[in-house]
Amino acid sequence: MKPRYQVSKAAIELIKSFEGFRNTAASLTDGRWTIGYGHIRSTREGAEVSQQDAEALLIYDLIDVADAVNTLTFTPLSQNQFDALCAFVYNIGVEAFRGSDVLKHINEGRMLQAACAMELWRRAEFQGSSLIIDAMVRRRAAEKTLFLTPARGWVPAPSAILRPMLDVDTLGQVPREPPTDVTSPLEGADPTPERVEPPLSLARPAPAAVGSSSEGPSPSPPSNPSWPLRFETGDADLRSESMPAPDVQSAPDPAPAPRDTFGLRQDPLPEPSVAATWNIVDRPKVNLEPILTVAAPALALTIGGIYWSGHGTLGGGFFHPLVIGWLVCLIGLAGLSYAAYLLLVDLGYIEPLHDTGD
């Protein structure tokens, strides 16, 4: 008999972290009110609650959730699996869980498939569209992690022995677009969710162009108190003004720097010679005229002999229709064999039995 479980602190803390605490009642679109950590049943307009009382209301709501999970599941569960399912059902509802693939996989004993199916409940109605919500993706991931956490420790899977590979069958589960980041205010009576815009990155100045023209005015030196530069080399002071300007016109054109080819050869490949090309031979042409001349009457004799043999009886001497039918059938088969021989010779599969000459 499957034991009946009770919700532990792990499920309560997981639900609290994603529901958020609301100390005053907020109205829902269906006319009901919510307060605390998602409590709806006894909430009225203007109600207020403390965190301690809100947790008590959450435990009260989880009584029906735990009873539904115990009743609908037939496979024995661990405490972590039960807590994860209670947190999952508290979010999607008992009726949705009753018809979900998560429950189907659990009752079939396929726990890993059930955990993966939990992640698919990540959409919500927002501003008239069904969108993948960022917070729901994270909530499903937390529930899945708790569901898969074994009571006796993790099973080792050494990387040097079990090298991970991409599961191409699950590529369709990756969202095509980034999930929508949505938040619901926890203060006030209006809990309408709002889209969270990503923060703008700090503007950075564009880097100077490397290949800028040299015809313009030269950039002025930076206004630095240490300018001109001073290099201490013993007793001598080297200043930038005392350094001779390079003769730009007399400087030879620099040779192009060799490209890093990463070990690849640089000399051009030789042109392919005629001897190195493939010798493409045309397919042999089949002369169908002599083959059909033999095959057509041979096929007719074979069919006629079979038909004639089927309508005769034994007895009556050598010229009985049954004997004649067999002989005609054998002549037809011999003709078909000769036609097949001619075809194989034309295709080049066998050599002719005699030299036909030029």
For residue range 299-308, list pLDDT tens digits in order: 888 887 787 6
Cβ atoms of 17 and 91 closer than 8 Å: no
The string of pLDDT tens digits covering residues 42-74 is: 999 999 999 999 999 999 999 999 999 999 999
List Cα–Cα distances, 175 to 29, 114, 119, 131, in angstroms. Answer: 28, 19, 11, 10
Q: What is the pLDDT of residues 73-105, one digit of tens each?
A: 999 999 999 999 999 999 999 999 999 999 999
Coil, strand, or helix at residue 82? helix
CA distance 34 to 189: 9
Whether pTM > 0.85 for this model: the answer is: no
pLDDT at 240 over 50: no
Q: Which range scores top for mean pLDDT: 161-165, 171-175, 184-188, 301-305?
A: 161-165
Nearest Cα neighbor of 63 from 119, 21, 11, 27 is 11
- pLDDT of 38 > 50? The answer is yes
281: pLDDT strictly greater than 50? no
Strand partners, 218: none
Residue 179 has a pLDDT of 84
Mean confidence (pLDDT) of the chain: 77
- The pLDDT score that the predictor gives to residue 144 is 97
Q: Just list the catalytic residues.
A: 19
Q: 294: how many CB neighbours lie within 10 A of its CB?
A: 19
